[in-house]
Amino acid sequence: MVDKEVPVAQEKPEIEAEDAEAIAVSDSALRDFTIELNRLHIAFGAPSYAAIVKASVRPKLTKAGINEALSGKRLPTFDSLMEFVRVVSSPLPPPVDAPAPRCQPTLAEAWKARWEVAKFAQRRAQAPWRRLRNTVRETLDEAYREAQTVRAAAHKEAARLLADARHTADVVWKTKPDGTAKNTDAAAEDSVAASTISPDLRVALLKGTPFWLAVPKTTDLFPEDGGANPIAVLAPGTWYLGIEGNEAASELVVQTKDGRRGLIRDLARIEIG
């Protein structure tokens, strides 16, 4: 029997020590770079993104690009970094009609060195990141295959349990309280017969006029008001007058030769005269 919950392998993707080190160095270099870039921004008064974009010349900076650089989402290109450093370290807004000032040489040199360190670390981590992504993809594919196997086994087990339950219910239904088997074939035939009336009777009921009928076996005649005690017994081989009936309710008003009227509730195999 399959357990309700079958754990799927949850091991972490395997990664070589050298690859892990290269990825860690790249992450650390980008984090250090981002911290220093934020310090630069704050040191010069933390000008708004809009002011920086407006003062930028070449390349033209964007608010999205500035946000990515200051949040550490992405290492900016070298040209974008140099323009950011130049704009932030220059007076804002710049003098009207004045040429764009140049970046301070010491600042430019320092930030060039920082960018090169981060860029080199990223380049070293490119191949390890690619291998890690492939490993993760393979791990997910394997987990999916295991999950599909477990699912198929669970469906198979559920189908087996359902079949067992149906078999047990069938055995119980076919067994009497005393443990003996019921005559299910005869019961089924009686049930079909009880729910089936002859075409002739159906036509007679549809006409809505009285007709002669004979019962196939001794049949109780019950009061029209629905009483439980029979008022007469109809015998086979004798003709009685059918007054009106309800096929859906399996009831038929019948009158005997001595004028007594009542209901018969078994319309199976009634013969029409």
- How far is residue 237's CA from residue 214's CA, in Å, rounded to a whole number? 6
Predicted confidence at residue 255, as pLDDT, reads: 92
- pLDDT at residue 136 tops 50: yes
Cα distances from 63 to residues 38, 50, 69, 71, 143, in angstroms, run 15, 7, 10, 12, 41
Mean pLDDT of the chain: 82
Predicted confidence at residue 194, as pLDDT, reads: 42
Q: Against a cut of 0.85, is the pTM above it?
A: no
- pLDDT at residue 187 tops 50: no
- pLDDT at residue 240 tops 80: yes
- How far is residue 149's CA from residue 134's CA, in Å, rounded to a whole number? 23
- pLDDT at residue 109 tops 80: yes
Predicted confidence at residue 3, as pLDDT, reads: 44
Spacing of C-alpha 63 from chain mean position:
40
Residue entry with tokens 């949850």? 10
Domains of the chain: 17-152 (no CATH), 191-272 (2.30.30)
- How far is residue 72's CA from residue 83's CA, in Å, rounded to a whole number? 18
Lowest-confidence region among 28-42, 55-69, 120-134: 120-134
- pLDDT at residue 2 tops 60: no
- How far is residue 31's CA from residue 29's CA, in Å, rounded to a whole number? 5
